[in-house]
Amino acid sequence: MPYENILVDTRGRVGLITLNRPKQLNALNDRLMDELGEALLAFDADEGIGAIVITGSEKAFAAGADIAAMAGWSYMDVHRSQYITRNWETIRRVRKPVIAAVAGFALGGGCELAMMCDIVIAADSARFGQPEIKLGVIPGAGGTQRLPRAVSKAKAMDLCLTARLMDAAEAERSGLVSRVVPADRLLDEALAAAQIIAGFSLPSVMMAKEAINRAYEVPLAEGVTFERRVFHSLFATEDQKEGMAAFLEKRAPQFRHR
Protein backbone atom coordinates (compact mmCIF):
# COMPACT_ATOMS: atom_id res chain seq x y z
CA MET A 1 0.00 0.00 0.00
CA PRO A 2 1.28 3.52 -0.62
CA TYR A 3 2.41 5.12 2.62
CA GLU A 4 0.78 8.37 3.72
CA ASN A 5 2.08 8.70 7.26
CA ILE A 6 5.64 7.42 7.04
CA LEU A 7 8.61 7.83 4.71
CA VAL A 8 10.66 4.76 3.89
CA ASP A 9 14.22 4.80 2.62
CA THR A 10 17.36 2.67 2.68
CA ARG A 11 20.90 3.75 3.51
CA GLY A 12 23.27 0.95 2.60
CA ARG A 13 22.15 -2.05 4.63
CA VAL A 14 19.97 0.04 6.94
CA GLY A 15 16.22 0.52 6.55
CA LEU A 16 15.09 4.00 7.57
CA ILE A 17 11.49 4.76 8.56
CA THR A 18 10.53 8.38 9.27
CA LEU A 19 7.21 9.07 10.99
CA ASN A 20 5.61 11.78 8.91
CA ARG A 21 2.53 13.52 10.31
CA PRO A 22 4.30 16.82 11.00
CA LYS A 23 1.13 18.88 11.60
CA GLN A 24 0.08 16.53 14.41
CA LEU A 25 3.61 16.14 15.79
CA ASN A 26 3.59 12.55 14.49
CA ALA A 27 0.60 11.58 16.65
CA LEU A 28 0.01 7.87 16.15
CA ASN A 29 -3.21 6.65 14.56
CA ASP A 30 -4.29 3.31 13.15
CA ARG A 31 -3.17 4.13 9.62
CA LEU A 32 0.31 5.18 10.74
CA MET A 33 0.69 2.10 12.90
CA ASP A 34 -0.50 -0.16 10.06
CA GLU A 35 2.05 1.43 7.73
CA LEU A 36 4.81 1.22 10.31
CA GLY A 37 4.06 -2.48 10.89
CA GLU A 38 4.07 -3.20 7.17
CA ALA A 39 7.33 -1.31 6.55
CA LEU A 40 9.05 -3.01 9.49
CA LEU A 41 8.05 -6.48 8.33
CA ALA A 42 9.17 -5.68 4.77
CA PHE A 43 12.62 -4.62 6.02
CA ASP A 44 12.76 -7.66 8.28
CA ALA A 45 12.21 -9.90 5.26
CA ASP A 46 14.65 -7.98 3.02
CA GLU A 47 18.00 -9.78 2.70
CA GLY A 48 19.69 -6.48 1.86
CA ILE A 49 18.80 -4.99 5.25
CA GLY A 50 20.58 -5.76 8.52
CA ALA A 51 19.15 -3.14 10.90
CA ILE A 52 16.31 -0.62 11.00
CA VAL A 53 16.10 2.97 12.26
CA ILE A 54 12.81 4.65 13.20
CA THR A 55 12.89 8.42 13.57
CA GLY A 56 10.54 11.40 13.61
CA SER A 57 11.01 15.12 13.05
CA GLU A 58 13.21 17.66 14.81
CA LYS A 59 10.25 18.72 16.91
CA ALA A 60 8.69 15.36 17.70
CA PHE A 61 9.51 11.68 17.51
CA ALA A 62 5.80 11.22 18.29
CA ALA A 63 3.55 13.23 20.63
CA GLY A 64 1.47 10.18 21.53
CA ALA A 65 -1.67 8.52 20.26
CA ASP A 66 -3.88 10.80 18.17
CA ILE A 67 -6.10 12.42 20.79
CA ALA A 68 -8.49 13.91 18.22
CA ALA A 69 -9.12 10.47 16.72
CA MET A 70 -10.00 8.81 20.03
CA ALA A 71 -11.57 11.66 22.03
CA GLY A 72 -15.21 10.72 21.37
CA TRP A 73 -14.81 6.96 21.53
CA SER A 74 -16.77 4.76 23.90
CA TYR A 75 -15.36 1.84 25.86
CA MET A 76 -16.67 -0.55 23.20
CA ASP A 77 -15.14 1.53 20.39
CA VAL A 78 -11.67 1.31 21.95
CA HIS A 79 -12.09 -2.30 22.98
CA ARG A 80 -13.41 -3.48 19.61
CA SER A 81 -10.98 -1.59 17.39
CA GLN A 82 -7.91 -2.10 19.60
CA TYR A 83 -7.05 1.46 18.73
CA ILE A 84 -3.44 1.66 17.50
CA THR A 85 -2.47 -1.37 19.58
CA ARG A 86 -3.74 -3.87 17.01
CA ASN A 87 -0.45 -3.51 15.19
CA TRP A 88 1.66 -2.70 18.22
CA GLU A 89 2.91 -6.24 18.70
CA THR A 90 4.11 -6.30 15.09
CA ILE A 91 7.15 -4.37 16.26
CA ARG A 92 8.02 -7.24 18.59
CA ARG A 93 7.89 -9.70 15.67
CA VAL A 94 10.78 -7.93 13.96
CA ARG A 95 13.90 -10.05 14.41
CA LYS A 96 16.44 -7.54 13.17
CA PRO A 97 17.55 -4.76 15.53
CA VAL A 98 15.42 -1.61 15.54
CA ILE A 99 16.92 1.70 16.69
CA ALA A 100 14.73 4.62 17.74
CA ALA A 101 16.38 7.96 16.89
CA VAL A 102 14.46 10.41 19.05
CA ALA A 103 14.46 14.21 18.77
CA GLY A 104 11.89 16.47 20.42
CA PHE A 105 8.78 15.04 22.07
CA ALA A 106 8.39 11.32 22.71
CA LEU A 107 5.22 11.36 24.77
CA GLY A 108 2.56 8.80 25.63
CA GLY A 109 2.41 6.32 22.77
CA GLY A 110 5.54 8.02 21.36
CA CYS A 111 7.54 7.13 24.45
CA GLU A 112 5.98 3.65 24.37
CA LEU A 113 6.97 3.26 20.73
CA ALA A 114 10.58 4.23 21.53
CA MET A 115 10.57 1.66 24.35
CA MET A 116 9.45 -1.05 21.90
CA CYS A 117 12.67 -0.48 19.96
CA ASP A 118 15.91 -2.27 20.84
CA ILE A 119 18.14 0.78 21.21
CA VAL A 120 17.07 4.37 21.86
CA ILE A 121 19.46 7.11 20.73
CA ALA A 122 18.33 10.57 21.80
CA ALA A 123 19.10 14.03 20.53
CA ASP A 124 19.88 16.52 23.29
CA SER A 125 16.50 18.08 22.41
CA ALA A 126 14.55 14.92 23.25
CA ARG A 127 11.88 14.94 25.95
CA PHE A 128 10.20 11.79 27.19
CA GLY A 129 7.00 11.43 29.18
CA GLN A 130 3.77 9.56 29.85
CA PRO A 131 1.36 12.50 30.32
CA GLU A 132 -1.86 10.49 29.74
CA ILE A 133 -2.98 11.23 33.31
CA LYS A 134 -3.64 14.81 32.17
CA LEU A 135 -6.20 13.41 29.72
CA GLY A 136 -8.02 11.36 32.34
CA VAL A 137 -6.49 8.05 31.20
CA ILE A 138 -3.30 6.05 31.74
CA PRO A 139 -0.63 4.73 29.35
CA GLY A 140 -2.21 2.03 27.18
CA ALA A 141 0.58 0.64 25.04
CA GLY A 142 3.00 -0.68 27.63
CA GLY A 143 4.07 2.51 29.44
CA THR A 144 3.18 1.29 32.92
CA GLN A 145 5.05 -1.97 32.28
CA ARG A 146 8.12 -1.07 30.21
CA LEU A 147 8.92 2.27 31.88
CA PRO A 148 9.46 0.78 35.39
CA ARG A 149 11.71 -1.88 33.85
CA ALA A 150 13.68 0.81 31.98
CA VAL A 151 13.95 3.56 34.60
CA SER A 152 12.87 2.12 37.99
CA LYS A 153 9.50 2.06 39.72
CA ALA A 154 10.04 5.39 41.47
CA LYS A 155 10.78 7.31 38.31
CA ALA A 156 8.02 5.58 36.35
CA MET A 157 5.53 6.50 39.07
CA ASP A 158 6.84 10.07 39.04
CA LEU A 159 6.47 10.39 35.27
CA CYS A 160 3.09 8.65 34.97
CA LEU A 161 1.49 10.30 38.02
CA THR A 162 2.78 13.87 37.68
CA ALA A 163 2.94 13.93 33.86
CA ARG A 164 6.26 15.75 34.02
CA LEU A 165 8.62 15.36 31.08
CA MET A 166 12.15 14.01 31.32
CA ASP A 167 14.93 15.59 29.27
CA ALA A 168 17.54 13.62 27.34
CA ALA A 169 20.21 13.83 30.05
CA GLU A 170 17.82 12.44 32.68
CA ALA A 171 16.64 9.76 30.27
CA GLU A 172 20.23 8.65 29.72
CA ARG A 173 21.00 8.72 33.46
CA SER A 174 17.90 6.61 34.08
CA GLY A 175 18.74 3.99 31.48
CA LEU A 176 15.92 4.73 29.03
CA VAL A 177 18.28 5.80 26.26
CA SER A 178 21.66 4.37 25.38
CA ARG A 179 23.31 7.61 24.24
CA VAL A 180 22.61 11.30 23.80
CA VAL A 181 24.01 13.13 20.79
CA PRO A 182 23.78 16.71 19.47
CA ALA A 183 20.47 17.18 17.65
CA ASP A 184 22.13 17.87 14.30
CA ARG A 185 24.06 14.59 14.56
CA LEU A 186 21.13 12.38 15.56
CA LEU A 187 20.37 10.67 12.28
CA ASP A 188 24.04 10.24 11.35
CA GLU A 189 24.82 8.67 14.73
CA ALA A 190 21.80 6.36 14.60
CA LEU A 191 22.55 5.30 11.02
CA ALA A 192 26.22 4.74 11.91
CA ALA A 193 25.24 2.48 14.83
CA ALA A 194 22.79 0.62 12.59
CA GLN A 195 25.43 0.25 9.87
CA ILE A 196 27.86 -1.30 12.38
CA ILE A 197 25.21 -3.79 13.47
CA ALA A 198 24.31 -4.56 9.86
CA GLY A 199 27.95 -5.44 9.16
CA PHE A 200 27.99 -8.31 11.67
CA SER A 201 26.74 -11.84 11.10
CA LEU A 202 22.94 -11.66 11.03
CA PRO A 203 22.33 -14.94 12.92
CA SER A 204 24.43 -13.76 15.86
CA VAL A 205 22.83 -10.30 15.77
CA MET A 206 19.32 -11.75 15.80
CA MET A 207 20.17 -14.26 18.50
CA ALA A 208 21.75 -11.59 20.70
CA LYS A 209 18.55 -9.54 20.39
CA GLU A 210 16.40 -12.57 21.16
CA ALA A 211 18.49 -13.52 24.19
CA ILE A 212 18.45 -10.01 25.66
CA ASN A 213 14.69 -9.76 25.18
CA ARG A 214 14.35 -13.13 26.92
CA ALA A 215 15.85 -11.50 30.03
CA TYR A 216 12.60 -9.55 30.42
CA GLU A 217 10.34 -12.58 30.15
CA VAL A 218 11.88 -15.46 32.10
CA PRO A 219 13.65 -16.13 35.44
CA LEU A 220 17.43 -15.64 35.45
CA ALA A 221 18.35 -19.34 35.47
CA GLU A 222 16.13 -20.02 32.46
CA GLY A 223 17.48 -17.00 30.63
CA VAL A 224 21.06 -18.12 31.21
CA THR A 225 20.20 -21.64 30.00
CA PHE A 226 18.58 -20.16 26.90
CA GLU A 227 21.66 -18.04 26.27
CA ARG A 228 23.93 -21.08 26.67
CA ARG A 229 21.93 -23.10 24.11
CA VAL A 230 21.94 -20.24 21.65
CA PHE A 231 25.68 -19.71 22.18
CA HIS A 232 26.29 -23.40 21.45
CA SER A 233 24.13 -23.27 18.33
CA LEU A 234 26.17 -20.45 16.82
CA PHE A 235 29.10 -22.87 16.53
CA ALA A 236 27.09 -24.51 13.75
CA THR A 237 27.41 -21.38 11.61
CA GLU A 238 30.05 -20.62 9.00
CA ASP A 239 30.24 -17.12 10.37
CA GLN A 240 31.52 -18.33 13.75
CA LYS A 241 34.35 -20.15 11.91
CA GLU A 242 35.04 -17.06 9.82
CA GLY A 243 34.86 -14.62 12.74
CA MET A 244 37.28 -16.57 14.91
CA ALA A 245 39.63 -17.44 12.02
CA ALA A 246 39.75 -13.77 11.01
CA PHE A 247 40.67 -12.77 14.56
CA LEU A 248 43.50 -15.30 14.68
CA GLU A 249 44.74 -14.30 11.21
CA LYS A 250 44.56 -10.62 12.19
CA ARG A 251 42.22 -9.64 9.34
CA ALA A 252 38.68 -8.32 9.02
CA PRO A 253 36.01 -11.04 8.93
CA GLN A 254 34.00 -11.62 5.77
CA PHE A 255 30.69 -12.73 7.17
CA ARG A 256 28.57 -14.72 4.74
CA HIS A 257 25.24 -14.39 6.45
CA ARG A 258 24.59 -10.70 6.70
Phi-psi map region of 121: left, alpha, beta (phi>0 left; psi -120 to 50 alpha): beta
Q: Which helix (H) or strand (E) holds 235?
A: none
Closer residue to ligand CO8 in complex, CB, 13/127? 127
Minimum Å distance from CB 217 to ligand CO8? 21
Return the residue of 15, 50, 97, 131 that touches ligand CO8, per CB under 6 A: 131
The answer to the question of residue 133 lying near ligand CO8 (CB under 6 A) is no
Task: Please report, in angstroms and rounded to a whole number, the separation of the first and last CA atoms in the chain.
Answer: 28
Judged by CB under 6 A, which stretch of 19-27, 89-97, 153-161, 215-223 contacts ligand CO8? Answer: 19-27
CB 219: neighbour CB atoms within 10 A? 9
CA dihedral 201, 96, 213, 236 (to 10 degrees): -30
Kindly state the number of chain residues that form the binding site for ligand CO8, as judged by CB under 6 A. 22
170 counts as catalytic: no
Stretch that binds ligand CO8, among 90-98, 107-115, 170-178, 197-205 (CB under 6 A): 107-115
Question: According to CB under 6 A, which one of 37, 97, 108, 203 is a site residue for ligand CO8?
Answer: 108
* Single residue of 105, 128, 200, 255 touching ligand CO8 by CB under 6 A: 105
**Which of the ranges 22-30, 43-51, 196-204, 248-256 carries the binding residues for ligand CO8, by CB under 6 A?**
22-30
145 binds ligand CO8 (CB under 6 A): no
Annotated catalytic residue 132 = yes
- Calculate helix-pair angle for 202-214, 238-248, nearest 10 degrees: 110
Please tell me which residue in 132, 168, 190, 193 is annotated as part of the active site: 132
Give 77-85 contacts, CB < 8 A, sequence gap 24+. 81/30, 83/30, 84/28, 84/29, 84/30, 84/33, 84/109, 84/141, 85/140, 85/141
- The window from 81-89, 152-160, 201-209, 246-254 that contacts ligand CO8 (CB under 6 A) reads 81-89
Rule CB under 6 A: say whether 140 interacts with ligand CO8: yes
Q: Does 35 bind ligand CO8 (CB under 6 A)?
A: no
119-123, strands of its sheet edge to edge: 6-11, 14-19, 51-55, 98-102, 119-123, 179-181
| 238 among known catalytic residues | no
Which residues does the annotation mark as catalytic? 65, 109, 112, 132
